[in-house]
Amino acid sequence: MPKTDNMLAILWMLRSGEKMTAKQMSEKLELNIRTVYRYIDTISTSGVPIVSEPGHNGGYSLLNHFVEAPLYFDVEEQTSLFHAAVFAEEAGYYGGEALDRAISKLSNHSNQEQETKVNQHVTSLEVISRSSSPPREPFLKKLERAVADGYSVKILYHKSDEKPLNDRLVDPYRMIYWNHKWYVIGFCHLRNDIRSFRVDRMERLMLTENTFNQPENFSARDYFIKSLLPTIEDKEGIISLVLNGSKSALDDICEHWFLGHYLQERTSNQAVFLLEKEIIHTYVPYLLLPYNTSIKVMEPISVKKRMIEVLSELIEFHQV
């Protein structure tokens, strides 16, 4: 029998709940006892809780909670895993090959009725990716390993289109997927501070032997969101941005990753945001113009004037 079949057979023997010796398993499977020991080590490494008891009445067994756990997924669980795989593929998930193997195992160990039912649900969902970025799987796998094991990485990195490239030594704390891009958040030894790095701007990446300890209670999500949002420095310079409009347009604006953080009040036809004056005039006009006549700025009047200026600049630019 193939190796995987022999290991599955050993697993089923142990699931009987009775202790078995390596010799008993080798006799039943007609295998060399050393091969049985090797297979048991492999099964244990994969996460199966095998208990080894030495002595005259000893042998191998499984922990009770594993014996009682189901080895197979029902239709709803299988469907959820297949759907998750679709989303992961569109996000450029770096564990694609392993995920494909897992999904194949689900398919191979399903009966015809289960497979037909699952396929009906799987084909009901599609995910359309906005763009196809170049594959970064080797970098992502190395980064995930560095984050998990606590190893620093050396990267050759460029910011936007700036030249030249520069080398960075980074202690990677977390990986983040946002707006169809992969980022790593960590301590940059060049800047002596925490920074975020876009993976698609890395030209080279190498794991080092240097280890690090992650700071306690560090939230990569909080750091990343704060780095995206302009800092409000002048608390007394905060003013209200009042928008009227259709419910659907206001819903969309209130859920915007930027404006949503500053929402203060909301009714069916009005939304109020509190922002610094400089931020309102710098960012807001460009965010609101795509909504055309579905929304209207009520306050402040200066934002209306700024939107007119922006439109005038665009008209002038395209008339040349």
Note the pLDDT of residue 154: 95
d(CA 190, CA 167): 9
Residue 127 pLDDT exceeds 60: yes
Q: Is pLDDT above 90 for 170?
A: yes
Structure tokens at 90: 């569109």
pLDDT band at 161 (very low <50, low <70, confident <90, very high): low
Question: Model-level pTM greater than 0.75?
Answer: no
Range 89-95 contact pairs with CB under 8 angstroms and sequence separation of 24 or more: 89/127, 90/127, 90/128, 90/129, 91/177, 91/180, 92/133, 92/135, 92/136, 92/137, 92/140, 92/177, 92/182, 94/136, 94/137, 94/140, 94/141, 94/144, 95/141
Average pLDDT estimate for 21-30 = 88
Q: Give, in words, the CATH class of 137-227.
A: mainly beta
CATH class of residue range 235-319:
alpha beta
Is the pLDDT at 233 greater than 60, yes or no? no
The residue ranges of every structural domain in the chain are 3-68, 75-122, 137-227, 235-319
Task: Quick: pLDDT tens for 196-218.
Answer: 998 988 989 999 999 999 888 88
How far apart, in whole angstroms, are the C-alpha atoms of residue 53 and residue 51?
7
- Residue 53: pLDDT band by 50, 70, 90 thresholds? confident
The architecture in CATH of the region 3-68 reads Orthogonal Bundle (1.10)
Round the average pLDDT of the chain to a whole number and report it: 83
pLDDT for position 29: 87
